[in-house]
Amino acid sequence: MSKEVSARCTWSPNDGYRAETPFGVIPMFDGDGHRAVELMLLSAVSCLNFFLVEYAKTRNYEINVIECSCDKEIVQRPERIGTINIYVNIDGNVNTDDKDKMVEICERSCKVMNTIKNTPICNLVIQ
């Protein structure tokens, strides 16, 4: 049974790297292209940011900016990201309790955050 491809990365000597999703091509590795780890981290903060913005819109909060950023700590054996620290800044007319509730609810809604926090089954299939 074939499943829809969500992401693909190919490489050839003539074309270099080509990374794509159903939404288009993403510059990767060559020249000024993105790096995979940074895209993974961007996925986490952009997913959370999206849900925070939608939450604020539906409640008509007066927001100036919602910013999500992160940093990482690398660990060894195997080399990977051991810790991701995500920082949320909500600038607007929203009290602290509402901000806390907003972040708590949106974090639970974010598929990327849920995936990172709950290790997925990752099957490697050689074709």
pTM as predicted: 0.87
pLDDT at residue number 2: 54
Instruction: Compute the average pLDDT of residues 33-41.
Output: 91
Residue 103 has pLDDT above 90, yes or no: yes
State residue 59 phi and psi, 5-degree precision.
-105, 5
| Residue ranges of the chain assigned to CATH 3.30.300.20 | 35-117
Instruction: Report the CATH fold assignment for 35-117.
Output: GMP Synthetase; Chain A, domain 3 (3.30.300)
| pLDDT tens-digit map of 57-88 | 999 999 999 999 999 999 999 999 999 999 99
User: pLDDT-based confidence at 1, cuts 50/70/90?
Assistant: very low
Contact 56, 64 (CB under 8 A): no
